[in-house]
């Protein structure tokens, strides 16, 4: 009997190597995973969302200047409850004695008492720091928020207040990354239980569960352990990537598993595994393109956190595929006997009745969906986006959030801005501060030019030698000598010759000059004067470090406005206009939470359009090549885009604020991931309608797709629900809530509306088809032939069908996909591998 054996394809060769070299692969994975368990600790996490603002924004430029030129000492608002005024004043004095605390202000003085020279306080003044039995102590530390001296001082304050009921509102010692890591540990633990329950429900044998879990865990550890290659990632990416990776990539492992089980029905474990891997690599790779396309759209955001999250999640998807293609085949071989022994009946019911119900309502469902899309589009455009955390409520709160809320409820919120302008023009600075304080929206405006030091003099007031001597209690002749030295150093010799009495120098400049001369030994002071000078020097040095840089000066403005809103954003422009009266507009920077929110709102307008357009375009391109039809991708996109609009119409109706980042991320993920559900149903329908009526084909397609949609959708929605309910981070909670709701909406639409649209729009799909010609290779074989794929040709008659099985006879035809080989060739391959 003549025979002609087909050469194995590239994917078959690759699959054979993967299956036969599985022990080596296990060893390589073990080594890599051990490395990743250590390298995951190398990842640097950024907690500051403003770091990802575009470099062109005012906030980013201003923050960079502040980091370069100024020292920002850490602060804390400490509220002590159920205390008397005297106890609070005493606690403030004790706090100020703690090493690392620069000041602890309670009332108008720094240590709790009213100063002798100050005017009597009104009840309104007292209510600003003492209400009922609640006292507010404002603490300033000697270091910045991450410095050890600040952390140690805060710890000492907590120890001091241990006997009292207290709340501390401060960024010192508050790490979003640490808090999120703990929360994500809880989320992962609960998610693992849910995943196991879902897999038990949808599996065909109990031994499938460890195969899938080991594959997921390996992919997750690989992704976490390689994040260090990016140098630094955001706290958002670091926290939600693992959960989203499991939810987004679970389909790949399930596809591989089901293909293996199908192949094993008519082949041995090794042959079934090789066939499953060779067939799954191209199909899973194609399926992943829609998810990757949605994530890639995020990378084009102007707000660079989109790039950060997009690239980390794309890497996660790639590692998930790698684990499925290389690790999972070995696990399938390892657990194959256990899978055969632990088979159980399917717990997923058939949904033929649901399919018939959907078909009966097709003339009602589609028009209602059209109305829902229009309403969703309009309502989603009314979605109340916010760009800061002040208006977002989370289901749970951490200790820092509880303290902040308690202090704000009792003593009000703070909205402090930093205005940065070129230094040197003290007169303009003083005039600007005076103008700003005339606005009702400004609580106070503080800068070097209006900081009172002594005897009513401001830091930048120009003093004569006599005024300086009187203010500092120094000898007048000694001060004249210092003034003369100052003039000589500045090469103002005319001042020395013409008389020094009328020579004026800014108090701050002269003080630091005089202090330097004392330190250099040119001036001798008694012990009391030296102590007073040192104290004053410490105060002025702190003020200078905070407010005066090498090229710029900083002013602090406290606004009596909410953090964000139209009125707040409009007043920011008013501050700019006032500053530009005295300074060049290109060198004026306003920095604060309100400015950050405004910049984010501007970038959102662009990013929203960019994400929506690119995610749709990328997915359509993938679908065009997948289905070779213009009409079908449009129908599928219509359903998923409709689910996105309906999803975000809920906040539009309830007027519940939603963080803008949640919208952008969920839009990308929902388009990229949920489209897979529609692809599964459409693929089955296109295949089945060639064998049966279109009505029966759509019903069967729903029944066959239901396990996949149920498994993937339930895990993704459960993951979103857990994120939304457990995390305390406002930027992330919205991602979870919207992802859960959006996935459930998508599942309903693809299982109810999509079948109706596919049925009614079938003519459009068929009329817009196009063919991409692929060269066909005619092959033939004789004898007992194992067939796996689509064959067109003659087998004792004409064949044009999907065939998986054994043919006894002659085969001569064109194999479009898949493979076939003779029994002798199969036996030869087995002998070679033994």
What is the 3-state secondary structure of 559-581? ECCCCCCHHHHHHHHHHHHHHCC
Residues 411-436: tens digit of each pLDDT: 888 889 999 999 888 889 889 999 99
109 and 17 in one domain? no
Q: Could you give the number of structural domains in the chain?
A: 5
In a domain, 237, yes or no: yes
Residues 556-605: tens digit of each pLDDT: 999 999 999 899 999 999 999 999 999 998 899 999 999 999 988 888 88
Q: Which of 89-98, 100-109, 239-248, 812-821 has the lowest mean pLDDT?
A: 812-821
In a domain, 179, yes or no: no
Mean pLDDT value across residues 688-717: 86
34 and 74 in one domain? no
What is the rounded CA–CA span in Å between residue 757 and residue 643? Answer: 14
264 and 126 in one domain? no
676 and 605 in one domain? yes
Residue in this structure with the two tokens 């009328």, named with its chain if needed: 502
Residue 360 CB neighbour total at 10 angstroms: 11
Q: What is the largest CA-CA distance in the chain?
A: 124
Give the N- to C-terminal CA distance of the chain in Å, as an integer: 27
116 and 14 in one domain? no
**Dihedral over Cα of 311, 317, 320, 324: its sign:** negative
Mean pLDDT value across residues 498-510: 80
Q: What b-and-e string marks burial along 717-749, b requiring 16 or more CB atoms within 10 Å of the CB?
A: bbbbbbbbbbbbbbbbbbbbbbbbbbbbbbbeb
CATH number of the CATH domain containing 101: 3.30.70
Q: What kind and span of H or E run contains 314?
A: helix 305-322
What is the rounded CA–CA span in Å between residue 731 and residue 787? Answer: 53
Q: Which residue has the higher pLDDT, 240 or 233?
A: 233
What is the rounded CA–CA span in Å between residue 192 and residue 181? Answer: 16
SS (H, E, C) 250-310: HHHHHHHHHHHHHHCCCCCHHHHHHHHHHHHHHHHHHHHHHHHHHHHHHCCCCCCHHHHHH
Cα–Cα nearest to 295, from 620, 661, 607, 665: 665
Give residue 81's pLDDT: 93
Residues 377-423: tens digit of each pLDDT: 999 888 898 988 888 888 888 888 888 889 988 888 888 999 999 98
Give the range of the structural domain holding residue 520, as residue numbers without chain letter: 461-548
Cα–Cα nearest to 417, from 552, 556, 545: 556
612 and 682 in one domain? yes
Tell me which of 548, 568, 589 is where a domain ends: 548
78 and 11 in one domain? no
Cβ atoms of 175 and 107 closer than 8 Å: no
CA of 223: how far to CAs of 41, 220, 322, 520, in Å? 13, 5, 11, 59
110 and 26 in one domain? no
139 and 25 in one domain? no
Cα–Cα nearest to 465, from 524, 513, 522: 513
pTM score, whole prediction:
0.76
Q: Which of 141-155, 216-230, 526-540, 601-615 has the lowest mean pLDDT?
A: 526-540
Tell me which of 757, 772, 787 is where a domain ends: 772
Q: Across the strands, what pairs with 762? A: none
Q: Which residue has the higher pLDDT, 783 or 272?
A: 272
153 and 227 in one domain? no
Residue 504 has phi, psi (to 5 degrees) of -115, 140
DSSP 165: E
CATH number of the CATH domain containing 224: 1.20.1640.10
Q: Which of 162-166, 437-441, 708-712 has the lowest mean pLDDT?
A: 708-712
Q: What b-and-e string marks burial along 395-427, b requiring 16 or more CB atoms within 10 Å of the CB?
A: eeebebbebbebbeeebeebbebbbbbebebbe
What is the rounded CA–CA span in Å between residue 341 and residue 282? Answer: 30
Give residue 462's pLDDT: 85
DSSP 803: E
Cβ atoms of 174 and 135 closer than 8 Å: no
What is the rounded CA–CA span in Å between residue 61 and residue 407? Answer: 31
Structure tokens at 344: 């159980």
Which residues touch 615 (CB under 8 Å, ≥6 apart)? Answer: 293, 294, 297, 667, 668, 671, 672
Give residue 4's pLDDT: 45
pLDDT grade for 823, boundaries at 50, 70 and 90: very low
Give residue 495's pLDDT: 64
Residue in this structure with the two tokens 């930093």, named with its chain if needed: 418
Cβ atoms of 794 and 758 closer than 8 Å: no
Q: Where does residue 558 fall: left (phi above 0), alpha (psi -120 to 50 degrees), or beta otherwise?
A: beta
Residue in this structure with the two tokens 């995610």, named with its chain if needed: 615
Task: For residue 456, count CB atoms less than 10 angstroms from its CB and return exposed for 0-12, middle for 13-18, buried for 19 or more.
Answer: exposed
Residue 523 confidence (pLDDT) above 70: no
Give residue 650's pLDDT: 92
Give residue 807's pLDDT: 55
Residue 832 confidence (pLDDT) above 50: no
Give residue 70's pLDDT: 87
Cβ atoms of 144 and 132 closer than 8 Å: no
Q: Which residue has the higher pLDDT, 244 or 174?
A: 244
CA of 234: how far to CAs of 48, 197, 608, 669, in Å? 8, 32, 20, 18
Percentage of residues of the chain with pLDDT beyond 70: 87
In a domain, 794, yes or no: yes
What is the rounded CA–CA span in Å between residue 491 and residue 424? Answer: 18
* DSSP per-residue codes, 431-454: HHHHHHTTSTTEEEEE-GGG-EEE
663 and 608 in one domain? yes
Residue 795 confidence (pLDDT) above 70: no
DSSP 750: I
Structure tokens at 334: 């390892």
Mean pLDDT value across residues 544-552: 85
Mean pLDDT value across residues 530-539: 73
Residue 79 has phi, psi (to 5 degrees) of -105, 120
Residue 132 confidence (pLDDT) above 60: yes
Cβ atoms of 460 and 507 closer than 8 Å: yes
What is the rounded CA–CA span in Å between residue 329 and residue 284? Answer: 14
What is the rounded CA–CA span in Å between residue 745 and residue 717? Answer: 10
In a domain, 554, yes or no: no
Residues 648-667: tens digit of each pLDDT: 999 989 888 888 888 888 88
Mean pLDDT value across residues 257-274: 84
Residue 452 confidence (pLDDT) above 60: yes
Q: What kind and span of H or E run contains 374?
A: helix 362-380
Give residue 778's pLDDT: 42
Give residue 47's pLDDT: 79
In a domain, 386, yes or no: no
Give residue 525's pLDDT: 66
Give residue 484's pLDDT: 84
In a domain, 415, yes or no: no
Give the CA count within 13 Å in the CB-facing half-sphere of 233.
27
Tell me which of 326, 343, 360 is where a domain ends: 343
pLDDT grade for 822, boundaries at 50, 70 and 90: very low
Mean pLDDT value across residues 780-785: 49
pLDDT grade for 775, boundaries at 50, 70 and 90: very low
Mean pLDDT value across residues 46-73: 86
Residue in this structure with the two tokens 């679970």, named with its chain if needed: 250
H-helix segments, 381-475: 399-411, 426-436, 465-472
pLDDT grade for 744, boundaries at 50, 70 and 90: very high
Cα–Cα nearest to 787, from 754, 826, 820: 820
Average pLDDT, the chain: 82
Which residues touch 276 (CB under 8 Å, ≥6 apart)? Answer: 15, 256, 259, 260, 262, 263, 329, 332
Residue 83 confidence (pLDDT) above 80: yes
pLDDT grade for 813, boundaries at 50, 70 and 90: very low
Give residue 498's pLDDT: 63
Cβ atoms of 36 and 295 closer than 8 Å: no
543 and 663 in one domain? no
Give residue 827's pLDDT: 47
In a domain, 444, yes or no: no
What is the rounded CA–CA span in Å between residue 6 and residue 779? Answer: 7
In a domain, 53, yes or no: no
Give the total residue count for the chain. Answer: 834
Q: Which residue has the higher pLDDT, 823 or 692?
A: 692
pLDDT grade for 810, boundaries at 50, 70 and 90: low
């Amino acid at each position: 009997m003549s025979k002609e054996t087909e050469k194995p394809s590239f994917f078959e060769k690759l699959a054979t190597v993967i299956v036969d070299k599985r022990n080596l692969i296990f060893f390589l994975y073990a080594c890599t995973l051990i490395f990743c368990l250590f390298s995951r600790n190398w990842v640097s996490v950024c907690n500051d969302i403003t770091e990802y603002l575009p470099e062109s924004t005012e906030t980013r430029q201003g923050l960079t200047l502040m980091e370069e030129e100024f020292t920002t000492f850490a602060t804390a608002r400490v509220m002590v409850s159920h205390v008397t005024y005297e106890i609070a004043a005493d606690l403030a004095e004790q706090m100020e004695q703690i090493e690392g605390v620069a000041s602890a202000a309670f009332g108008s003085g720094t240590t709790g008492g009213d100063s002798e020279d100050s005017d009597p306080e009104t009840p309104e003044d007292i209510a600003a720091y003492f209400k009922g039995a609640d006292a507010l102590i404002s603490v300033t530390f000697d270091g910045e928020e991450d410095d050890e001296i600040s952390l140690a001082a805060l710890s000492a304050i907590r120890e001091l207040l241990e006997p009292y009921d207290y709340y501390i509102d401060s960024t010192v010692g508050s790490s979003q990354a640490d808090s999120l890591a703990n929360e994500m540990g809880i989320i992962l633990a609960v998610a693992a239980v849910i995943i196991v329950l879902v897999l038990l429900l949808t599996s065909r044998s109990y031994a499938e569960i460890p195969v899938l879990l080991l594959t997921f865990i390996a992919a997750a550890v690989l992704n976490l352990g390689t994040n260090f290659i990016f140098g630094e990632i955001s706290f958002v990416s670091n926290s939600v990537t693992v959960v989203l990776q499991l939810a987004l990539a679970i389909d790949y492992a399930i596809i591989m598993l089901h293909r293996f089980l199908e192949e094993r029905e008519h082949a041995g474990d090794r042959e079934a595994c090789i066939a499953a891997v060779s067939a799954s690599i191209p199909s899973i790779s194609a399926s992943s393109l829609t998810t990757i396309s949605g994530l890639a759209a995020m990378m084009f955001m102007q707000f660079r956190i989109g790039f950060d999250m997009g690239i980390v999640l794309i890497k996660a998807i790639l590692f998930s595929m790698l684990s499925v293609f290389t690790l999972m085949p070995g696990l399938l071989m390892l657990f194959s006997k256990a899978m055969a022994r632990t088979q159980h009946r399917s717990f997923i019911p058939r949904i033929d009745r649901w399919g018939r119900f959907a078909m009966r309502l097709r003339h009602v469902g589609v028009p209602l969906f059209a109305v829902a899309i229009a309403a969703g589009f309009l309502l989603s455009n009314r979605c109340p986006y916010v760009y800061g955390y002040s208006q977002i409520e989370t289901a749970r709160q951490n200790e820092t959030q509880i303290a902040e809320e308690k202090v704000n409820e009792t003593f009000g919120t703070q909205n402090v801005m930093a205005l940065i302008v070129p230094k040197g023009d003290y007169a303009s600075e003083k005039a600007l501060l005076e103008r700003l304080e005339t606005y009702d929206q400004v609580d106070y405006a503080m800068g070097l030019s209006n900081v009172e030091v002594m005897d009513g003099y401001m830091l930048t007031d120009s003093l004569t030698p006599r005024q300086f001597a009187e203010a500092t209690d120094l000898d007048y002749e000694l001060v004249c000598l210092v003034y003369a030295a100052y003039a000589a150093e500045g090469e103002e010799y005319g001042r020395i010759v013409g008389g020094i009495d009328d020579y004026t120098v800014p108090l701050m400049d002269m003080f630091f000059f005089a202090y330097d001369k004392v330190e250099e030994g040119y001036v001798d002071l008694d012990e009391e004067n030296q102590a007073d000078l040192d104290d004053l020097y410490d105060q002025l040095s702190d003020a200078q470090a905070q407010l005066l840089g090498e090229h710029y000066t900083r002013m602090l403005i406290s606004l009596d406005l909410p953090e964000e809103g139209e009125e707040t954003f409009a007043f920011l422009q008013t501050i700019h206009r006032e500053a530009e009266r005295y300074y060049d507009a290109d060198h004026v920077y306003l920095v604060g939470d309100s400015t950050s929110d405004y910049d984010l709102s501007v970038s959102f307008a662009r990013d929203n359009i960019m994400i929506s357009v690119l995610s749709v375009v990328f997915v359509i391109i993938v679908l065009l090549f997948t289905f070779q039809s213009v009409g079908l991708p449009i129908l599928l996109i219509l359903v998923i885009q409709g689910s996105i609009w309906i999803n975000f119409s809920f906040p539009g109706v309830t007027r519940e604020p939603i963080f803008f980042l949640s919208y952008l991320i969920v839009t990308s993920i929902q388009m990229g991931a949920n489209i897979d559900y529609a692809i599964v149903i459409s693929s089955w329908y296109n295949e089945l309608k060639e064998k049966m009526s279109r009505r029966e084909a759509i019903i069967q397609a729903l029944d066959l797709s239901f396990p996949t949609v149920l498994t993937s959708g339930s895990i993704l929605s459960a993951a979103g629900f857990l994120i939304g309910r457990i995390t305390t981070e406002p930027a992330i909670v919205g991602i979870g809530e919207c992802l859960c709701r959006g996935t459930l909406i998508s599942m309903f639409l693809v299982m109810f509306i999509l079948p109706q649209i596919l049925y009614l729009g079938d003519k459009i799909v068929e009329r817009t088809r196009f063919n991409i010609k692929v060269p066909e290779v005619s092959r033939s074989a004789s004898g007992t032939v194992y067939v796996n794929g689509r064959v067109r040709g003659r087998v004792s008659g004409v064949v044009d069908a999907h065939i998986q099985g054994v043919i006894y006879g002659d085969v001569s035809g064109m194999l479009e996909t898949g493979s076939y080989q003779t029994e002798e060739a199969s036996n030869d391959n087995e002998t070679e591998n033994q």
